Amino acid sequence: MAGGDSAPAPTPSCPWTKAIPVSESSSTPDMPVIDDATITVAIDAALAAIAAAPDTAALKQVRIEHVGDHSVLTAANRAIKDLPKDQKAAAGKLIGQGKGRVQKELAARQNELAAAEEEAALAAETVDVTLPTDLRSRGATHPLTTLQDRINDFFVGIGWEIAEGPEIESAWLNFDALNADAEHPSRSLQDTLYVAPENSGMLLRTQTSPVQIRAMIERGAPLYIACPGTVYRADEIDATHSPMFHQVEGLAIDKDLTMANLVGTLDAFAAHLFGGQPITRLRPNHFPFTEPSAEMDFRCFNCDARLGVEHDADPNCRVCGGTGWIEMGGCGMVHPSVLRAAGVDPEEYQGFAFGLGIERLLMLRNGVSDMRDMVEGDVRFSQHYGTEI
């Protein structure tokens, strides 16, 4: 406290009276005057300075000037101890109260000015929050992957498991075990891509059904599995065909599964994918691996047809083409020959199977119009979806 140290010692003999005139004789620069008028003037000056301080820096100066070590009030306060005993109390009260008012006003003003200054400082830091923030854009998953995951989740949800197998497959698993006669047209070179040399017995699987056979051979019955995966056909690529596409097949084998269970599963699946009140329709058809066999249609989810079979479809509906129905794929009760080839006793077990194309689902559900968009690998196709479909 340099100021304090250098301050002269107060004069003990200094008289104290109420409204004591400043003594000419005792008036020295070092001797504070403690009288009502002086103190009141000092306090009023302090309060005026506080009120006038424009900012906290000015206020700090005010504090030094008016209540600092060299201020009139501080000096007067210091001088109290030198007053006669009987004056000390009155002088103490006078100065203490005055100084208290000043300190209080200082604090209030400090808060007021600090708040204003902080507000101004924050205002000065305002940014444009609409600026782009994409230092590195988020990537995307392929919508077919997302859709396949969603389909898998449905089957897992109803207690089935997801089975997978290789894309380059044996002809036995892809055809023979599935009751396809050696002469079956689907085995021709026009339909199926084969591994060289001729009669290698290997091919690019044309369906995920060989996974069903593998699962039955490895795990036997009962069995509830969905088999998603990539399959291949000898088709040239165009807007609605691709030599490579994705399928999901379902297979349920148990003691007493019926076609009614097939319908129930398809209904639940359609509801999961398309929502609403699903209506599925089976039409008689023929496949080597099922008997009875059926073609499955879902009621259009897009136009008025979705409201029920008694509602007409929109003739221009992009999804159903005005028929009210969407062809989804084939299904049926697993042929006993297929069960036998896979080591399951058809006298004890029976079940159903179905298969549908995932690209087709995506095309219908999300309005993809060109198959090529899904297979060519253009990032814009995936990026549009992000990680949801």
Partner 1 sequence: MPRIPLTWLAEHVTLPEGSSALQVATDLARVGLEEESIHGAQVTGPLVVGRVLELVKEPQKNGKTINWVRVDVGPEHNEDADNPKDPQPGTERPSRGIICGAHNFVAGDLVVVSLPGTVLPGDFAIAARKTYGHTSDGMICSGDELDLGPDPTGEDGIIVLGRGHAEGLSAEPGDDAIALLGLADEVVEINVTPDRGYCFSMRGVAREYSHATGAAYTDPVTTVQTPSASGAGIGVQLRDDAPIRGGAGCTRFVALEVHGVDPTAQTPRWMARRLTQAGMRPISLIVDVTNYVMLDLGQPLHAYDAQKVVAPIVVRRARSGEKLTTLDDVTRTLDVEDLLITDSDGGDGARVLGVAGVMGGESTEVSETTTSIVLEAATFQPITVARSARRHRLPSEASKRFERGVDPHLPLVAARRAAELIARFGGGEIDSRVTDEGEVTEPAPVTFPLGDAERVVGIAYTPEQVRGSLEMIGCTVRTGSDDTLEVTPPSWRPDLTIREDLVEEIARLVGYDTIPSVLPTAPGGRGLTVAQRARRSANRALAEAGLTEVASSPFVGEGIFDRLRYSADDARRGAVRLLNPLADDEPLMRTELLQSLLPVARRNLGRGEESVAIFQLGATSLSRGADVRSPIPSAAGRPTDAELEEVLAALPIQTRVLAAVVGGPSGPDSWQGEPAPWGWADVFDLARRVAAAVGSTLEVRRTERAPFHPGRAGELRSTSADGTSAIIGYAGELHPAVVKDFALPARTSALELDLEALIASAPSVVPAVPVSTYPLAKEDFAFVVEESVPASAVEAAIVVGIGDLAEDVHLFDVFTGEQIGEGKKSLAFSVRLRSTEATLTSEQIGAARARCIAAVETAVGGVLRA
- Residue 185 is a binding residue for partner 1 (CB under 8 A): yes
Binding to partner 1 by residue 149, rule CB under 8 A?
A: yes
The reply to whether 340 sits near partner 1 by the rule CB under 8 A is yes
Subset of 230-269 contacting partner 1 (CB under 8 A): 230, 234, 236, 243-244, 252, 254, 256-261, 263-265, 267-268
9 vs 287: CA distance, rounded Å: 118
- Least separation in angstroms between CB 46 and partner 1: 50
Pick from 325, 324, 209, 331: nearest CA to 261: 331
286 lies in the binding site for partner 1 (CB under 8 A): yes
Q: Which is nearer to partner 1, 75 or 342 (CB)?
A: 342
CA 74 – CA 67 distance, rounded (Å): 6
Query: Does 281 sit near partner 1 (CB under 8 A)?
Result: yes
Rounded Cα distance, 307 and 301, in Å? 8
The residue (of 10 and 143) whose beta carbon lies closer to partner 1 is 143
What is the nearest approach in angstroms of partner 1 to the Cβ of residue 176? 4
The tokens describing 389, both together, are 């479909």
9-48 positions binding partner 1, by CB under 8 A: none
The phi-psi region of residue 56 (left if phi > 0; otherwise alpha if psi is between -120 and 50; otherwise beta) is alpha
Q: What is the DSSP string of 151-182?
A: HHHHHHHTT-EE----SEEEHHHHTGGGT--T
- Both tokens assigned to 194: 């084969």
**Nearer residue to partner 1 within complex by CB, 74 or 350:** 350
Q: Tell me the window of 69-77, 92-100, 108-116, 331-339 that interacts with partner 1 (CB under 8 A).
A: 331-339
Question: Considering only residues 352-381, where is the footprint of partner 1 by CB under 8 A?
Answer: 374-380
| Segment interacting with partner 1, rule: CB under 8 A, options 18-26, 43-51, 72-80, 170-178 | 170-178
> How many amino acids of this chain bind partner 1 (CB under 8 A)?
100
Q: Is 312 in the site for partner 1 (CB under 8 A)?
A: no
By the rule CB under 8 A, 211 interacts with partner 1: no
Cβ partners under 8 Å of residue 153, min gap 6: none
Residue 137 as a binder of partner 1 (CB under 8 A): the answer is yes
Asked if 207 is part of the footprint of partner 1 (rule: CB under 8 A), the reply reads no
User: Beta-carbon neighbour count of residue 275 at 10 Å?
Assistant: 10
Pairwise CA distance, residues 221 & 214, whole Å: 12
Is residue 347 a contact residue for partner 1 (CB under 8 A)?
no
Dist CA 280 CA 297 (whole Å): 6
